[in-house]
Chains A and B, each alone.
Chain A
């Protein structure tokens, strides 16, 4: 519990620093004045420049972190995350396809459809007639679906006008540039709804952790519970992708990091901690991406990729040592 409070404080501190530091640095006093009076440089940064960006980062990071923790618990595998299993790539492909075709649809809807199609493809390709699919098979099939989606995305981008293609390329890396309050409302509104849906399924997931047979013996409708949880997880990831692009590795890292850090004992606590950790990683990643090269704003995905790739390699080597791979 104490560690959980510490994690929240770290998140609040990182938000403050992210609001203060950038091309123009600003003090807490100016921020506060801007918040109270609605005037001055603080108000401009809060209301237009950094406020929506940071609020989007928190929301997108939280939904991705929560999504990752759901899949990691559901498949009992630290590698099971929507960014590894191709769901975020599927969501990204759908968004780029919608842009390329000039469809004026709400991005969260498009991203969700893409994510769900990717998930159904993974389920179909790994389906076995009378045995449960091992999680590792799902992950590897997901990896393949993800590569296919990325390749199609690149293919579609060649049809876009140069400027639009550049924008799309940036977005595909995972970017928080030029976010407005509309994006904030999207990710927070949908995030809260999906968060409540997850809360309603915590008991099912708690029982599923004991294995399908015991869960069924405890009165759970196992198939329905699995699909409900996987569907919620895909939608959570898609909502994050819709506002910030498929930021890599946030969903993969948030769960294991927060569990180890907070030592949360209940599943509800672990999921909440994963959401907070996802937000923390994304805010810090964006901050680092803005501050890394003076005068250039890198997309946040570059930073989470730089931290996430070594983490993935370390995780893979550990799984191999344990004989899981």
Chain B
């Protein structure tokens, strides 16, 4: 099982943002897409999630073009948490998470044990079991983001895509979100593909990095291989030194 981009070209109107990009995203790990603003990392993630149509090339899941797959079938394989989902007025955390079961539920189907189980499990995974009856609006920013993650976890897909899941969160809550995703990845083999801004957090929580620059992919591979001063210069125009993080041993980028 794997998600691949083949000669993928993405853009709006006459402007191509990504051209002829080939990418193989390994299963079972945590992959992070990094790059400067405007390099098209969110656009790439949206194309991988079938939220936009490519102008050329294709995205395949196990060899099949995702645009040829039925919407519901795809939603059982792959979940996406967009950057700013909308919360219905007054919705409780529990009701929000329940909506993650949509692809598994038939028309007017009764709520079954598997649905209940998936929601309870998702709430437990993000540590919100006790707050299920609370309105989402009353939660803190970090808790709210975890509630949204619970929604996509309740979807029970082998693949999870997240568009900047830590934006607007303070460092503690960023760590909280990434740790729970890492935990989920270890516990259930969930493949996590996300877009992040923070290079050091990405290095610490990823098995695989995709570094994009203004002209497409600069490097892909393990954090040790990708986070190299020359490549950071190429992608960001950033002069930096890279050394092992004294605590975790993952590469640490120090801008000069």
Contacts and interface: CB of A to CB of B under 8 A. Distances in A.
B80 A214 contact: yes
A129 B71 contact: no
Contacts of B99: 206-207, 210, 218
Interface of A: 76, 129-130, 200, 203, 206-207, 209-211, 213-214, 216-221, 265
Given A218-B75, A219-B72, 4 more contacts: A209-B86, A209-B88, A217-B79, A217-B81
Interface in B36-92: 46, 49-51, 71-76, 78-82, 84-88, 90, 92
A214 B95 contact: no
B86 A76 contact: yes
Contacts of B95: 265
B142 to A, nearest CB: 19
B46 to A, nearest CB: 8
Given A210-B85, A211-B84, A214-B85, A220 B107 contact: no
B102 A203 contact: yes
B144 to A, nearest CB: 13
Contacts, number: 69
Interface of B: 12-13, 46, 49-51, 71-76, 78-82, 84-88, 90, 92, 95, 99-100, 102-103, 105, 107, 151-152, 155
Nearest to B46: A213
B102 A213 contact: no
A217 B12 contact: no
A206 B71 CA distance: 17
A318 to B, nearest CB: 14
Contacts of A210: 85-88, 99
A214 B71 contact: no
Nearest to B84: A211
A213 B71 CA distance: 13
Contacts of B72: 219
A213 B80 contact: yes
A219 B71 contact: yes
B85 A213 contact: yes
10 interchain residue pairs of minimum CB distance: A219-B75, A213-B82, A217-B80, A211-B86, A219-B103, A219-B72, A218-B102, A209-B88, A214-B85, A219-B71
Nearest to A217: B80
